[in-house]
Amino acid sequence: MRENLGAPVRLGQAICYSALSPGKRLRPLLVLTACEAVGGDWRRALPAAAALECVHAFSLVHDDLPAMDDDDFRRGRATTHRKYGEALAILAGDALLAFAFEELTRLAIREVRPARVLGCILRLADASGSAYLMAGQALDLEFEGKPVTRGDVLRIHLRKTGALLGAAMAVGAIVGGGSARQVEDLDRAGMRLGLAFQIQDDLLNAGSTLGALGKRAGTDAKRGKATFPRAVGEVRARSEAAAFLSGARDLIAHCARPARLLQLMDVIAERDR
Amino acid sequence: MRENLGAPVRLGQAICYSALSPGKRLRPLLVLTACEAVGGDWRRALPAAAALECVHAFSLVHDDLPAMDDDDFRRGRATTHRKYGEALAILAGDALLAFAFEELTRLAIREVRPARVLGCILRLADASGSAYLMAGQALDLEFEGKPVTRGDVLRIHLRKTGALLGAAMAVGAIVGGGSARQVEDLDRAGMRLGLAFQIQDDLLNAGSTLGALGKRAGTDAKRGKATFPRAVGEVRARSEAAAFLSGARDLIAHCARPARLLQLMDVIAERDR
């Protein structure tokens, strides 16, 4: 392999700033606990956990750009483009996406079979691409300021949030040696969990303050973002979130060691910030 | 696998507009002829050829953005952000990068061994990431308007152009069943070819018109871009390009069927538009 020349200093700083920001690391934790749930050793899934967090960080950096959501704060600090400028923010995001796939190939070093590693790469590429993550953001921008139905919000949330949480759990199950059925069930569970998570996010944005949330609150309403509470009201949004979480829990009932995954799912769906 | 929902209409259009623009398809042709050069069947390398073009298209779309090179024309047409807006251009680029890795996994369907497919993914991720493609663009922006030495321009060109041409040839060789030595040699050959190609690009930008080049000419000088002619003068730039091409040719001398690859390399290094 060719010598790794490393990133130029400022680009490297922008990448680290983006990837190592004080987030909750929910996606990597989902990878590890899903791996354990199907009976695997979570340590082998560490490169996949890193990959999922990189894709998440990439999507936040690009979503925050002035041409997109134009956010100045994220996780209690200036967004990457506010600190390093737009050009480096775009490049740092790009590099994080490429790095995610590089990192997944390292699963093979941990004795995950190459065919299974390819399965992980396909899941993550699919979830990060034009059908899911990018589609979600495109729809999100498209619907800004327009009236939305429950179906519209579901379409957006499934793509923007559900797909990556599904991929996180599916990838964990693949690395852990799960059966094809388990992998699909955990993918679907992650999608449902993603919906519960995103509805909670919508509710928090509507009610929280900058201090508690680490990013500006009330921004969704101001921009006319497609949110669940806007489509169905707060009360029904809360009950739907609970139903999605319960559906997600049911899907992993047949796993061998689901305790820590279940615990994490509850924390994710019911977080207060 | 979960159902592929497809991209929202406008995002899909922006992706196609970016990927199917009237380019020369040099990188995919390098993949296919490199595969043939080591004795492989080029048809098996088609997904890899598509992947390389997607990464190239992604990098052009992002490089052209207002926050980067701010270009209005590319390949004789409006750039993606001029036609679809900045947000969709960023997302289309992102989606193309993710799609490249998805496409590489499809090599396995064509009976390329999973371990070899992983080798292709690692090469492409490395070439597209923080050490090469993104580093090249970051350095390119950093050096804008500053005095540059030959070494500075080499560093930029190797990362921005050389790495992806090297990856194209290495990936072709991996799919074609080349030995580890051949894969490394073709990677290095591609790097040198990339330098010859980029120097020719610098010379064309300095001397061409919009009509012939399909993008604005003279823009490098106006922006104070780091170019080879600027660092060492036109005459020496020409002789260095010839030397890099010759070095690249030497590195593939021991291949089984190098005829079409050699022919392509000559065309690439000596093109007049």
State residue A224's pLDDT score: 86
Residue ranges of the alpha helices (H) in chain A?
Answer: 9-19, 26-37, 46-63, 80-84, 86-105, 114-128, 133-143, 150-157, 163-175, 180-207, 210-213, 219-223, 228-232, 234-251, 259-270
What pLDDT does residue B3 have? Answer: 57
Confidence at residue B270, expressed as pLDDT on a 0 to 100 scale: 82
Contacts of A166 in chain B (CB under 8 A): 2
Per-residue pLDDT averaged across A117-122, rounded? 98
CB contact under 8 A, A7 and B86: no
Q: Which of B85, B95, B115 sits opposite A134 (nearest CB)?
A: B95
Burial of B242: CB neighbours in 10 Å, binned 0-12, 13-18, 19+ = middle
Cα Rg of chain B, angstroms: 18
Size of interface A-B (CB pairs under 8 A): 187
Chain A positions touching B142 (Cβ under 8 A) are 8, 10
How far apart CA B109 and CA B92 sit, in angstroms, is: 26
> What pLDDT band is residue A155 in, cutting at 50, 70 and 90?
very high
CA distances from B253 to A90, B164, B168, B176, B250 (A): 40, 21, 18, 16, 5
Residue B208 identity: S
Task: Give A73→chain B minimum CA distance, Å.
Answer: 19
Residue B2 lies in a domain: no
> Considering the domain boundaries, does residue A3 fall inside one?
no
Residue A46 lies in a domain: yes
Smallest CA–CA separation between A102 and chain B, in Å? 5
Res. B4: pLDDT tops 60: no
Provide, rounded to the nearest whole percent, the portion of chain A with pLDDT above 90.
81
Pair B261, B34: CB distance under 8 Å = yes
Question: For residue A21, is it within any domain?
Answer: no
Q: How far is it, in rounded angstroms, from Cα A157 to Cα A140?
A: 9
Measured between CA atoms, the residue of chain B closest to residue A180 is B1
Whole-angstrom distance, CA of residue A211 vs CA of residue A217? 9
Using H for helix, E for strand and C for coil, what is the string for A191-255? HHHHHHHHHHHHHHHHHCCHHHHCCCCCHHHHHCCCCHHHHHCHHHHHHHHHHHHHHHHHHCCCC
Model pTM?
A: 0.94
Question: Do the chains contact at B126 and A2, CB–CB below 8 Å?
Answer: yes
Residue A16 covered by a domain: no
Burial B249-265 (b: 16+ CB within 10 A, else e): bebbeebeebeebbebb
Q: Give the pLDDT band of residue B84 (cuts 50, 70, 90).
A: very high
Give the minimum alpha-carbon distance from A204 to chain B in angstroms, rounded to a whole number.
26
A153: in domain: yes
Cβ neighbours of residue B81 closer than 8 Å, sequence gap 6 or more: B61, B64, B65, B66, B88, B89, B90
* CB–CB contact A101 B67 (8 Å): no
Q: What is the CATH number of the domain that holds A31?
A: 1.10.600.10
> pLDDT (tens digit, 9 = 90+) per residue, A193-233?
999 999 999 999 887 545 555 666 677 888 888 999 999 99
Supply the pLDDT for residue A110: 85
- Please state which of the ranges A62-71, A184-193, B59-68, B143-152 shows the lowest mean pLDDT: B143-152
pLDDT of A76 reads 87
Q: Name the residue facing B90 among A67, A102, A108 (closest C-beta).
A: A67
Mean pLDDT in residue range B14-43: 96
Q: What is the pLDDT of residues B102-136, one digit of tens each?
A: 999 999 988 899 999 999 999 999 999 999 999 99
Domain count, chain B: 1
**Do B128 and A98 lie within an 8 Å CB cutoff?**
yes
Q: Are B222 and B144 in contact (CB under 8 A)?
A: no
pLDDT tens sequence across B168-190: 999 999 999 999 999 999 999 99
A196, two tokens = 């519960």
Q: Look up the domain containing A245 and give its range.
A: 26-267
Q: What is the ipTM of this complex?
A: 0.94
Q: Check B6 against A166: CB less than 8 A apart.
A: no
pLDDT of residue B272: 77
Q: What is the pLDDT of residue B51?
A: 98
Q: Is the pLDDT of residue B212 over 70?
A: no
Tell me how close the Cα of B28 comes to any Cα of chain A, in angstroms.
19
